[in-house]
């Protein structure tokens, strides 16, 4: 494919129901937030992107190997870390960010890739402590959030400058200050959520802001948070006068377009009710570019009770508040052959890069034509043989 990463922008990949978001700071500095790599996506007839292989092809090279400046794991669920082990084998990862909740999980509760991530996170933390914070490429790490764990002997010497909590702004990526082009405002996880609550509610949530001169592009990435946690993110931001850090040009639907963001059952209630307050606040924070993105498979027209996300009701609510539109990665342009959703920041401003559908079709036809010519050359004639030959012949 002729697809290239934007030099400065966001990419949301069609990888099924899961998260894989790429943030490009410049041609040499790329961030990956979560990964969901399905082996079946390598099949020619599967529409989903084999994200590890695509990153291997598209990432900048350093010392002859694909180089990822930063990998952020919002939380260690399978749909956010599937393929990490393979990624680590094929790509040099300069730095990783994660919540200390990773270290609190039982092995039996983690998938193989999450276990591998924890092993790598522990290695890096020990390296940072042993070297009193002075590490280089491939060993860098940043912990996001709170935990009593950090007071234990194995972790209490971890340097404060590599530890960030809600309200902090991070501009350093892979050992370099990038405040002229990028910043991450940390919204969650909160202190009282880190050890006790369901894993989804301990997601790293942040606003990623790209900067180019007087232009900005902002993405609000809230992991798998549900209504109470999203409500708290907005309330705490207002209380601390950080409402501008809720602004978004791109809003990634938490939990893959789950209805739990705006439908919630309070204690004593028999069924979940619409929480219009959070929809109003999300809408208010939207900027003029204003796209809402669902990182999921095709969204059904309706759902049954107990269905996993994506949910049709959530889609309809988001469509009502999206200034510019609602886009689903699994349906983008063509559900049978979805393409990445790309936003780019240039000297002219921040914008959605709409794929040119006709060029895509032309490219496919060209590929099919080339394949047909190769088959004809192999046969020695334009028509197939009248009798079976080779494997499978009688």
pLDDT tens by residue, 2-30: 899 999 999 999 999 999 999 999 999 99
Q: What is the dihedral of CA 301, 304, 309, 315, to 10 degrees?
A: 40
Mean model confidence pLDDT for the chain: 90
Say yes or no to pLDDT of 388 above 70.
no
| Pairing, β 65-72 against β 92-98 | parallel
Per-residue model confidence as pLDDT tens digits over 87-107 = 999 999 999 999 988 888 877
Adjacent-strand bridge partners of 248: 286
Enumerate the β-bridge partners of residue 308. Answer: none
pLDDT of 34 > 70? The answer is: yes
DSSP letter assigned to residue 124 = H
* Backbone angles phi and psi of 319, in degrees to 5: -60, -30
With bands split at pLDDT 50, 70 and 90, how would you rate the model's confidence at 343?
very high
Helix runs in 137-275, H state only: 227-239
Across the range 218-236, mean pLDDT stands at 97
The reported pLDDT for the residue numbered 147 is 79
Judged on CB neighbours under 10 Å (0-12, 13-18, 19+), 187 is: buried
* Both tokens assigned to 327: 């886009």
Residue 338 phi, psi (nearest 5): -65, 150
Question: Does an H or E element contain 248, and which?
Answer: strand 248-252
Per DSSP, helices labelled H in the chain are 51-58, 78-81, 84-90, 101-104, 112-130, 227-239, 276-285, 312-321, 357-379
Read off the pLDDT of residues 184-223 as tens digits, 9 standing for 90 and up.
999 999 988 766 678 999 999 999 999 999 999 999 999 9
Count of residues in the chain: 394
Domain coordinates of the chain in residue numbers? 9-379
For residue 50 the two structure tokens come to 């084999």
pLDDT at 386 over 60: no
Domain covering 9-379 in this structure, CATH number: 3.60.15.10
In the predicted structure, residue 306 carries a pLDDT above the cut 80: yes
The torsion defined by the Cα of 50, 51, 53 and 56, in degrees rounded to 10, comes to 170
pLDDT tops 90 at residue 278: yes
**pLDDT category, 143, cuts 50, 70, 90?**
very high
* Residues sharing a CB contact under 8 Å with residue 120, sequence separation 6 or more, in sequence order: 88, 96
**pTM given for the model:** 0.89
């Amino acid at each position: 494919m002729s697809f290239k990463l934007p030099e400065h922008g966001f990419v949301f990949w069609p990888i099924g129901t899961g998260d894989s978001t790429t943030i490009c700071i410049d041609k040499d500095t790329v961030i990956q937030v979560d990964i969901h790599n399905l082996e079946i996506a390598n099949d020619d007839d599967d529409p989903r992107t084999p994200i590890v292989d695509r990153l291997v092809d598209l990432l900048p090279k350093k010392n002859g190997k694909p180089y990822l400046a930063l990998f952020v794991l919002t939380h260690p669920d399978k749909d956010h870390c599937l393929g990490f082990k393979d990624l680590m084998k094929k790509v040099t990862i300069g730095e990783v960010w994660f919540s200390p909740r990773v270290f609190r999980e039982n092995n039996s509760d983690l998938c193989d890739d999450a276990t591998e991530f924890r092993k790598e996170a522990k290695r890096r933390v020990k390296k940072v402590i042993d070297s009193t914070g002075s590490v280089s490429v491939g060993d860098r790490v940043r912990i996001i959030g709170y935990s009593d764990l950090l007071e234990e002997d194995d972790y209490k010497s971890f340097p404060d400058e590599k530890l960030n909590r809600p309200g902090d702004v991070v501009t350093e990526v892979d050992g370099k200050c990038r405040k002229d082009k990028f910043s991450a405002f940390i919204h969650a996880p909160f202190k009282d959520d880190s050890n006790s609550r369901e894993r989804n509610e301990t997601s790293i949530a942040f606003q990623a802001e790209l900067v180019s001169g007087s232009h900005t592009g902002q993405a609000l990435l809230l992991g798998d948070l549900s209504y109470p946690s999203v409500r708290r993110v907005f309330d705490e931001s207002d209380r601390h006068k950080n409402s501008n850090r809720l602004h978004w040009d791109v809003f990634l639907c938490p939990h893959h377009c789950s209805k739990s963001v705006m439908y919630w059952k309070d204690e004593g209630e028999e069924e979940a009710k619409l929480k219009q307050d959070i929809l109003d606040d999300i809408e208010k924070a939207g900027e003029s570019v204003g796209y809402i993105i669902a990182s999921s498979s095709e969204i059904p027209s309706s759902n049954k009770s107990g269905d996993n996300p994506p949910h049709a009701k959530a889609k309809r609510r988001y469509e009502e508040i999206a200034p510019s539109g609602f886009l689903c990665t699994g349906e983008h342009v063509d559900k049978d052959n979805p393409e990445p959703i790309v936003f780019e920041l240039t000297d002219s401003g921040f914008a959605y890069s709409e794929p040119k559908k006709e060029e895509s079709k032309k490219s496919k036809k060209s590929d099919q034509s080339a394949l047909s010519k190769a088959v004809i050359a192999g046969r020695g004639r334009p028509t197939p043989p009248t009798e079976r030959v080779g494997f499978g012949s009688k």
